[in-house]
Amino acid sequence: MSIAVEATADLSPPPETAGATPLFVMSGITKRFGAFTALDAIDLTFRAGEVQCLLGENGAGKSTLCNLIFGVHQPDEGTMTLRGEAHRPSGPRAALAAGVAMVHQHFSLVNTMTVVDNLLLGRERGVLRRREYATRLRALGAQYELPLDPFALVEDLSVGERQRVEIVKCLMAEPKLLILDEPTAVLLPDEIAALLRVCRRLASEGTAIVMVTHKLAELKQVADEVTVLRHGRIVARSDRPAAEIDRLVSAMIQRELGSLGAAAAVLGVDEGPKPTNVLPLPLLPRSDERPDAVQIDGLTVVDAAGTKRLGSFTTVLKPGEIVGIAGVEGNGQSELGLALAGMITTTEGRWFVGKTELTNRSPKEITAAGVGIVPEDRHRIGCVLGMSVAENIYLNQTRRFTRFGLLNRGAMRRSAGEAMERFDVRAPGPDVTFASLSGGNQQKAVLARELMSPGLAFMVAAQPTRGLDVGAVEAVYRLIREACADGVAVLLISSELDEIIAVADRILVMYRGRIVGERPGDPEHRDAIGAMMAGQTG
């Protein structure tokens, strides 16, 4: 079947796949939050033994759809059936009892408890059967290649191991329908491959798998069927997704994939060499004769408990160069970004932009020296959600609109409107609250602010595309590349290995707070980089 792209408001569901049993059916499902319609007349079928992926831009309705199935929300219109019976769970507990399980994007574990005690939460009363559950956990681990120590503390586990705990929690319930919301966001390449194998194994045993993902390479590997959502409606379906990726993405973002450039490679659409027909990387001379834009020498961060979180980080960036920092989260990247932003104090080392030393200077001084910071947590550090878009865009330049101590809000709004148009920040206007923007538009607004900083020479971009859809990813990297073309040096910190390889000139790999290797930004080095991320440096 070829892809069905929306032509009218009425889209009939695809024909039943031969041999596949309709396990879960949504008919006319609509969900509103106040005046906003999050889902509009959704007709969707999940079949036993199949993996169906949900694709869509941020705000398309994917998470709302999953939460309806799992009982977090209730539909306003329409019906759901599970194995032919009405499905309207009063909450997640009722959904689990009915055979529906969900692995959320953010972990829901108690870090100070053991793995087995986390599995017992909400399941047992009275005498806890730890040994029985530990035996079941080990058996499931062996069956699905998800090994875990039942009596290990969660806080001592790696990110990948914590993800295994979340999955095993669901498997303990023997679900008929398993929902995975962005399950690979923080995993190593080998862990991603293992998770996709688990999905195929579960499907082969008759479980229906629903996976929300933005990663097209994963979709190509595992999906039997893909449904594309846009603005709360189904706009495309395909039961040949690997062959129809381009058209699926075009349906999602309403433009041709050919214009995506870097995003195509970043998300696995083009598995060949780094594309040459996109906005070029820095146009400045690439020789080492260029002066250093940034020098970082031996930066070290030790936390209050005396643990070394960042150890002797050293590198040099040239003007217009993108240096990627690869590593699984929790290996010193966050501390590096915070130290360069002036948010935490370093215990050793120095760093310079040009000839200006910025070691342990304040965020205000660092900004004034020509440094832009895109923090990994844009909500906590990068913006003020209750303020307007205009106020957020000019947080670091309010003096530009101030005279005699008074802020000229009209001038700021007009200038913010121009910036929103230039950086494609989509919102009703500059006066709306920042919280009302989608994740992608919030990130573009933060980027706009930092890129417009006077005298910008160096940018730290930490996890700049986390949680963003393919269109927003393309926009973010287009803006970063444009800055590099103007001579700005960029330190790109990301746990998305494919993104770093597609964008960076060279890649530094971090493990346990230290640089353990360096490779060019080239797909040929992907396996070596992935191995170093896991601590294999030999």
Task: Give the confidence band of 280 by pLDDT, cuts at 50, 70, 90.
Answer: very low
What is residue 244's predicted lDDT score, i.e. its pLDDT? 85
What is residue 10's predicted lDDT score, i.e. its pLDDT? 32
Residue 250 pLDDT more than 90? no
Same-domain pairing of 62 and 204:
yes
Indicate the number of domains in the chain.
2
Task: Give the confidence band of 141 by pLDDT, cuts at 50, 70, 90.
Answer: confident
User: Ranked by mean pLDDT, which of 250-259, 333-342, 405-414 comes out on top?
Assistant: 333-342
Same-domain pairing of 298 and 241:
no
Mean pLDDT of all residues in the chain?
Answer: 83
Between 107 and 140, the more confident residue is 140
- What does the radius of gyration of the chain's CA atoms come to, in whole angstroms? 24
What CATH number is associated with residue 326?
3.40.50.300
Between 475 and 537, the more confident residue is 475
Residue 6 pLDDT more than 80? no
Q: Domain for residue 12, yes or no?
A: no
DSSP alpha helices (H): ranges in 361-429? 363-368, 389-393, 409-422
Same-domain pairing of 103 and 197:
yes
Mean pLDDT value of segment 280-307: 72
pLDDT tens by residue, 184-202: 766 767 778 888 888 999 9
What is residue 299's predicted lDDT score, i.e. its pLDDT? 94
Nearest Cα to Cα of residue 30 among 9, 16, 14 = 9
What is residue 56's predicted lDDT score, i.e. its pLDDT? 83
The sign one gets for the Cα dihedral 132, 137, 140, 141 is: negative
Nearest Cα to Cα of residue 82 among 99, 62, 68 = 99
Range of the domain at 49: 19-108+173-245
Mean pLDDT value of segment 7-33: 64
What is residue 283's predicted lDDT score, i.e. its pLDDT? 37
Strands 489-494 and 458-462: parallel
Nearest Cα to Cα of residue 100 among 65, 138, 139 = 65
**What pTM was computed for the model?**
0.64
Q: Domain for residue 406, yes or no?
A: no
Which helix (H) or strand (E) covers residue 458, if one does?
strand 458-462
Between 366 and 8, the more confident residue is 366
CA distances from 198 to 66, 158, 537 (A): 20, 19, 28
pLDDT tens by residue, 195-222: 888 899 999 999 999 998 877 778 888 8
Q: Domain for residue 428, yes or no?
A: no
Same-domain pairing of 334 and 470:
yes
Q: Domain for residue 205, yes or no?
A: yes
Mean pLDDT value of segment 27-42: 90
Same-domain pairing of 313 and 447:
yes
Between 221 and 319, the more confident residue is 319
Same-domain pairing of 217 and 304:
no
Same-domain pairing of 354 and 210:
no
C-alpha angle 326/328/330, rounded to 5°? 115
pLDDT tens by residue, 361-373: 999 999 999 999 9
Q: What percentage of the chain reaches a pLDDT higher than 90?
A: 38
Same-domain pairing of 233 and 375:
no
User: What size, in residues, is the chain?
Assistant: 538
Mean pLDDT value of segment 78-90: 94
Which helix (H) or strand (E) covers residue 371, if one does?
strand 371-374
Between 82 and 273, the more confident residue is 82
Which of 245, 271, 305 represents a domain boundary (last residue)?
245
Residue 456 pLDDT more than 90? yes
Which of 229, 245, 261 represents a domain boundary (last residue)?
245
Between 522 and 256, the more confident residue is 522
Which of 245, 267, 286 represents a domain boundary (last residue)?
245
E strand map for 76-205: 77-82, 85-86, 100-103, 177-181
Residue 5 pLDDT more than 50? no
Q: Domain for residue 11, yes or no?
A: no
Q: What percentage of the chain reaches a pLDDT higher than 70?
A: 86
Same-domain pairing of 307 and 223:
no
